[in-house]
Structures are given as C-alpha cells and as structure tokens.
Structure 1
C-alpha cells in the first residue's frame, strides 16, 4: 500500500474515531446531566419532605434534628429560637417567623446557606432552618460519581471505536490495494502490445508508400502520435500503481545525472516538434538526493514532456539543478503558453485536462510528479504567467 493510500485510510480511521467519540460524549453528557438533575431534584424533595414532617410535630424549639434549628412565633407575640442557633441563623429564623413570607426558600448567612421551611399552625408559626452543606456534599459526590462513570464509559467507547473503526476501514484498505494491483497488472499486460503497436506504426509511417499519399502519411503520423500518447498513459498508470512499492528508496541519486538522461531521451521528440531541450549542469554539483531513480526519472520526464507539449515551435525548454544547505531544486522552465498562477494547484489534479497546449495533455503525469515528490519528502510547485512560459520546481531534501 502506498503512502497516499495510508494517509487516506488514516484520515478515514481518525474521522470515524472522532465521530464516534463526539457522538458518545454527547450521549454520555446528556444522560449524565439528566441523571444528575433527577438525583439532585430527588434529594431536594426528600429534604423538603423531611423538614415538613418535622414542623408538623414540633412542640418546642429545644430539640431540633441534627443540622437544623427551629423558631416559633406564638400568638402572644413572643418568638423563640433554638438556643444553639448561630447568630446569623437565629436572625434569619426570627425574620421568617415574624415576617410575611410563607414559602420555603434558601438564605445565605455568615454561617452558610440554610433552607427555611415555614408552617402556620394553630399554635403559631413554626420555622425550621436546615444547613445545606450536607445536601451540597451529597450532590457533589453524585456529580463525581457521574463524571467518573462518564469518563470510564468514554474511555471504553473510544477503545471500542478505535477497534471497530479499524475493522471497518480494513475493507477499504483491501479495496485500494486490489485496485492498485489491478492497475499495475493491466498496465504490465498493455505495455508490451502497445510497444509493438508503436513500433509497427513507426515502420508504416516510414514506408515509401506513405510518402506517395499525403493523406496516408498524415494518418500514419497521427497513429504514431496517438500510440505514443497511449503508451505514456499506460506508463503513468504503472508508475502510479507501483510508486510506493519500490523497495530501494534510500539510494543516493544525482539529479543532474537524471536530468541529463531525460534530455538525451527527449531531445529527438522535442526536435521533431521544433522545440529545444537543454540542461545546464551546476558547476557546484553534484546534487545527490535519497530516492528511487526510476520514479524520480519518470517525474522529471513528466515535467519535461509537459513543457514540450505546451511550447510552440521554436520554443525552448531548460532544465536547471541548484542546491542549498538542506535541499536540491530541479527546475523545468519553458517559454510556451504559460499558466495562470492563481490556478497552479489545479495542474496537479489527477482528473484535470488541458486543451490549451499544442497537444491535448492530461493531468495524470503532473499528479504523479507531486506524488513522487511527497513520497520523497519533497515538494513540487508551479509558477509562470499566461503567454510568458511556465516554471515547475521539484525540491527534494539532501541526504
């Protein structure tokens, strides 16, 4: 499996894990929040019921339940408060017993927050104040238990999500590998007959009979050109399928040597189109990089072939290799129809095609250049202007 496929699968796996984690977290938070709300509400109602029960049977203020204090405002106008009540609580009890408030409510005192329950009976008004510290402690413990349960559930859900996502992505990995293997096998099978077809087309185009009939000569020339283009497409497919399956990617390769070899193999084709291809060796060379020679040569060839295809007769294509402290840059520049800088990224899309060159060009070659650059931990960029040529730069790290 190549690096691009691994990136796609890794992203799919992470996306699945994140989606499951977000969904699980939302469900856990919602469930935990509802449970916490219900438990707190139940605890509060239980406390209110207990306080109401105490007020229903209270006959003096001297013996309230633990954590509570009582007050009684009799018909004679006297108000009694539990002697042990702290000053702030006693003041709140006295105000409630002699006031007009009839409902239960919470009050803040210097000694803490207390809940007041009020009951009007024949013997007068009774008020009880209960310290809410115990209730708050119980609610905090419930909250901690809910958070611990949610954290445990989330951890278990993440582990399950990672396992299930890996299993769900596995068929995708197998499909990608099967697709790549099919492309490689088909390309291998097609390459040999296409080579034979191309050779026969060349022989027919060179036959004396072709020079007698101009229409026949033109048709044979088109057949040679189309067969060559088809062979290049098959070669690109093969390189794309096997780019990351090459075992020797840590060999030292000199980009100057590769550039010279590409010029030697393309000069005849370029000359037939009226285009010159030159390579200017850098006196500061050599410029070695770690990589696979076949893949890098194919990338350079794709850049040169693209430049030739977009350069009119009489144009020039120039290859330069320069080095810096940490990288080596190979630049293929032409004086052809140029490119729109704002759409430079589109040139590297696999599905892109362009009808503006001297021949119809497809984006597969440039897409393979970018894939090759990425697999060698480098980059490829495009620059230029309409009508003023284009410049493609392949940058790779030094060993």
Structure 2
C-alpha cells in the first residue's frame, strides 16, 4: 500500500511536468555556477601569469636603466631613449590591469561556452532516466501483482512456491531500483518548508521498516530519549527518506534474528542519528566510498550469519545498486548536514547522520 501511494505521487501528471521544469532550472543554475567557478580560477591563474610577466619585464627595464648613461653623449648615429622610472611603473601597472581584465573576461566567456554542452548532456541524461523509470514502473507493478496472486493461489506444499517467492523478491527489487533511479534523477534543491521534529519522522520510518524486518526475525529498536526532540530545516518526507534508506541498508547486511538500533542524540545545536547493525561489517569496498553513487560491495545472503541460531535457511536479500545511500548524502548536504561511517568491524556497522538544529 505504501508503494502504491508513492507511485501515485510520482505519476507523470502535473508533478512530472513540474519536476522536469525544476530539473531544467537546477541544471542551468549548476552549469552557470560551474562556469563562474572555472572562470574565476582561470582569471586568477592568467592574472598571476600576467603580473609575473610584467614584473619580470619591469625589473629588466630598471636593470637596464643606469644613471651613469645619462651623462654620456650620444655617439654619431646613436639614439638614446630615456625612460622615467615613475612613468614606467605607471605604464606597467596600467598595462597589467588591462591585461588581467581582458584575461578575466575571456576566461568567463570561454568557460561558459565550454560547459554549455555539459549542461545539455546533463539535462538529456536526467530526462532519459526519468522517462525510462516512469515507463518501467507500470509493467513492474503489474508483474508484482500477478506474482502475488499466483503466490496466494498456490498450496503451501507446491514445489514451485519457493521459485514464485524468489520471483516476487526479484520483482520488488526491480521496483525499488526504479524508485531509487527516479529519486536520483530529481533535481538537488535547497531545503525548504516548515521545521521538522526529528523524533516523529524517525519513529515513522523505523515503524515502516519493521514490516520488512519481522519476517526475518530482525528487531528494529528506536533509542531516543523522551523529551529531547529537536527541529531541523529539512522536509519531513526527506528526513524520513534518509532514515528509511539507512535502515534498509542495515537490513540488507544484517543476519536473521539480529537487532538494528536506531539512536537519536541531541548535543548543542546538532542532532545525531545513528543506525547500527550486527552484520559482518563493510567488506570489499572502502567505507568512505559507500555514499558514492552506484558504489557497490560484494553482497552475500544476509541470513547466513543467523542461519545456525535460528535453524532456518538463509534469507536472500535484494541487491543494492548504490543509490539509496548516495541520496542520503545529497539530502543531508542540502540541509547543511553530513553522513558518514562511524564504525565498522566484524561485529557490525554504524552509519551516522548529522544535522544542524534550529
């Protein structure tokens, strides 16, 4: 039911057109900002070169100006030019200022023209991802519904039941991937809206993820001191999305029957949210790279570690394509926060989301 509401919200109607327009505006702004930054850097570099060249020329001229030569009379056919030191300095300064101004203007114009194709390519890429994701959502939803009907009609002892269950898991994984692609294609905008209470959003996200954790015997615990709530400058939906992605990542790497702890702490003007699992830690990838888009680590069955204790077979988990945690980093950055790996070892991993409070 949750996915259905989300699907309607992301429909291709008015919201789709508005999202496309917002994406275009944000892309254009990003391209202009990039061109200005590169232009300023080129201006500084070229200005420094111009100043250095004029300085060398100025000192070379001064070195050639010898006071003893003023008393010498020109030889027959020889012509001498006498340059006043003050006038030479003024001339060099004027030429230098003009050269730096011309170099700066040329750098800004050239960089703006150079990054313009990149802006068009970024817009085309974002549009393609949005269109492709929208077109895939409906057939995937239909496929998942038909598999669900088939799964309910099969008797429990039917030998094909495990295969149908795996097909449903794969279908849901594809739907989640498409949802993540849609979120990744959304333009990055500054945080806005009313202040959001942290504990309420975190509680909703943890409660929603318990639906996925309970079939595997995983306990999602919320550790938040009562009466110590905080307000952050982030939409409630965005904060809930961050917590959901962090807990979902913990579920994907937790053994069956383990515990995931979601803790909230307020210290001064900062609220820290941590999600700790009891998995085997981050392996096969640098922990600093797990928040990069499409960064992936080798993944095994999450239930393998807990199979011996529970006596059940390992529970396969949906694969991660490295989009969810990248979205958390982007959303946190919009609100002036950050996300990182607080700890990782054979005993588990702790991801930490830090946000400034109001």
TM range (shorter): 0.7 to 0.9
CA deviations 1:106-126 (Å, max 9, x no partner) are xxxxxxxxxxxxxxxxxxxxx
Summarize the Cα distance change of 1:249–1:338 in structure 2 as closer, same or farther, 3 Å threshold.
same
Bigger Cα Rg: 1
Partner of 1:53: 75
Distance 1:38 1:217 in 2: 91
Distance 2:269 2:62 in 1: 64
- The yes-or-no answer on 1:255 pairing with 2:198 is yes
Kept after mapping to 1: 8 A contact 2:58/2:89: no
CA deviations 1:37-79 (Å, max 9, x no partner) are 47975x779958953539xxxxxxxxxxxxxxxxxxxxxxxxx
Of 215, 218, 221, 1:272 maps to 215
Of 83, 101, 115, 1:155 maps to 101
Q: CA deviation at 1:296?
A: 2.0
Of 327, 342, 354, 1:368 maps to 327
Distance 2:289 2:28 in 1: 21
Kept after mapping to 2: 8 A contact 1:21/1:161: no
Partner of 1:354: 297
Instruction: Kindly indicate whether structure 1 or structure 2 has the higher relative contact order, using CA contacts under 8 Å at least 6 residues apart.
Output: 2
- Which range moves more in the overlay, 294-303 or 185-194? 185-194
Q: CA deviation at 1:224?
A: 1.1
What SS is found at the alignment partner of 2:272? strand
Partner of 2:277: 334
Give the TM-score normalised by structure 2. 0.75
Of 250, 258, 261, 1:307 maps to 250
For structure 1, which runs of at least 5 residues remain unmatched after alignment?
55-133
- The alignment of Structure 1 onto Structure 2 pairs a total of residues equal to 315
Give the TM-score normalised by structure 1. 0.68
Partner of 2:110: 164
Q: CA deviation at 1:28?
A: 6.6
Distance 1:326 1:383 in 2: 19
Distance 2:122 2:343 in 1: 36
Q: CA deviation at 1:220?
A: 1.4
Distance 1:29 1:287 in 2: 54
What SS is found at the alignment partner of 2:73? helix
Partner of 1:217: 161
* Structure with the higher strand share, 1 or 2: 1
Partner of 1:65: none
What SS is found at the alignment partner of 2:84? helix
